Amino acid sequence: MTAIVPPTTTPGGGKSTAARRWTRRDLTFDKVSFMAVFLVVPVVGYVIFVVWPFLQAFYYSLTDWSGFTPGMNFIGVANYVRLFTDNIFMKAVGNNLLLLIVLPIITLVLSLALATLVTVGGPSNGPIRGLRNSSVYRVISFFPYVIPAIVIGIIWNQVYDPSHGILNGLLTGAGLEQFQSFAWLGEQRTAMIATIFVIAWGLVGFYMVLFVAAIKGIPAEIFEAARIDGAGRFRTAVTITVPMIRDNIQTAYIYMGILALDAFVYMAALNPGGGPNNSTLVMAQQLFTTAFTKGQFGLACAMGVVLAVITLLFSGLVFLVNRLTGGDNDVAE
C-alpha cells in the first residue's frame, strides 16, 4: 500500500498549509530536546570556554597588560615584533619543533612495534595471535601511563641525578667510569635526548593499547592470506597493518604533536630553568615565566597565540598530507 505524502508547495511556489502543519508536527519535544542537549549546549560551551578565551588572549596580546592591574594600553603588534626578535623565545620555538619532529616518530614507531608483537607477532603457524603472555606485556607497557606526568618527571629527575642517581650507579657499576657523576640533564648534548626518552617512556604504553585495539579490528583472514603468500612479519606490518589503521596513526600523531608543542609538565619537572643554554626550554615554559615571574601578561598572551597558531598549522598539515596521500580514499573504499 502506497503512503500518501502531503503536498509541500502551492501552485504559486510557496509552502502549503498542510506542509507547514506537517513540519510543525515533525518537530516533536524529543527532537527539540535532543538538539538542545546534544547540539546547542556543547556549541555554547565550546564558544564560552574555548573560542571566547582565545579571542580574549588575542586582544590582550595587543596590549601592555601586566596581569595585575586593570589598566592596559593598546600597542598593536609590538609584542609579536618583540617575540620574533627575542633569541630566547626563538630558541624555545626551535626546541618545540625538534620535539615535534622527533618525539612522535620515536613514540609511535615503538608503540606500533609493540602492538604488532602482542597481536599478530606470535608463531608463524596456527591461528593468528600475539606473543605468549602478551596480556602481561600489555599491562606492563601501559603502567607508566597511569602515573601522572609530574610524578614521572620527578622520578626520572632522581634517576638522572649525577651524584645519587641509579642510572649513573648502574653504568659505573658496569665499568663505564666516564659516567661517574655525569649530569644527564646538565649537559647540553644530552639534556634534550634524556628528556625525549622520559616522555616516550611515559606514553608508549598508551599508544600501544590504542594500536592494539585498531589491529584487533582487522579481520584475521587478511593476515592469514598474507602468511599463505609468504609475507614475513615486517612486510605484513608495513603493507597490511599500517595502511589499515592509518586513521588511528594520524590521530595518534596529532595528539603526540600537540603534546610535543606543549611538554610543559615534563620540562618543568626535569629542567625547570630550561636546561643548559636553554637547550630544553619550550614555549610553554617561557610563557609561564613571562606571565607570572616578569608580570608581562600581554607578551605572554602573544606567546600563547603563536603557540596556538603553530598547533593549528601542524594539525592542518597532518590532515592535508593524509588527504594528498590517499587517506580519505582508503577510508571510502
Q: Report if residue 301 sits inside a domain.
A: yes
35 and 97, same domain (yes or no): no
Contact 252, 210 (CB under 8 A): yes
CA distances 137 to 20, 117, 119, 304, Å, are 62, 10, 11, 39
- State the pLDDT at residue 41: 86
pLDDT at residue 121 above 60?
A: yes
31 and 103, same domain (yes or no): no
- State the pLDDT at residue 2: 47
pLDDT at residue 99 above 90?
A: yes
324 and 211, same domain (yes or no): yes
Q: Residue range 276-299: average pLDDT? A: 93
CATH number at residue 244: 1.10.3720.10
Span 13-54, pLDDT tens digits: 555 554 455 455 566 777 778 777 788 888 999 999 989 999
Q: Report if residue 66 sits inside a domain.
A: no
Characterize 32-52 residue by residue with b for buried, 16 or more Cβ atoms within 10 angstroms of its Cβ, and e for exposed.
eeeeeeeeeeeeeeeeeeeee
87 and 49, same domain (yes or no): no
Final residue of a domain: which of 60, 91, 115?
60
Q: Report if residue 73 sits inside a domain.
A: no
* Amino acid type, 141: S
- State the pLDDT at residue 332: 41
- State the pLDDT at residue 266: 93
219 and 165, same domain (yes or no): yes
Q: Report if residue 70 sits inside a domain.
A: no
45 and 156, same domain (yes or no): no
Q: What is the pTM of this model?
A: 0.82
162 and 226, same domain (yes or no): yes
170 and 314, same domain (yes or no): yes
Collect all residues with Cβ–Cβ distance below 8 Å to 37 and sequence separation of at least 6.
none
259 and 207, same domain (yes or no): yes
Q: Report if residue 189 sits inside a domain.
A: yes
38 and 139, same domain (yes or no): no
What rounded mean pLDDT belongs to the chain?
85
Characterize 80-89 residue by residue with b for buried, 16 or more Cβ atoms within 10 angstroms of its Cβ, and e for exposed.
beebeebeeb
Backbone angles phi, psi at 263, to 5 degrees: 55, 25
Q: Report if residue 74 sits inside a domain.
A: no
Q: Report if residue 2 sits inside a domain.
A: no
Span 300-328, pLDDT tens digits: 999 999 999 999 999 999 889 888 887 65
Rg (CA), the chain: 27
Give the domain range for residue 45: 17-60
- State the pLDDT at residue 14: 53
Grid coordinates standing for 83?
617575540
* 57 confidence band (pLDDT: 50, 70, 90): very high
Query: How many structural domains compose the chain?
Result: 2
158 and 272, same domain (yes or no): yes
Percent of residues, the chain, with pLDDT higher than 70: 87
Among 12-16, 234-238, 282-286, the least confident range = 12-16
* 333 confidence band (pLDDT: 50, 70, 90): very low
pLDDT at residue 7 above 80?
A: no
The full length of the chain comes to 333
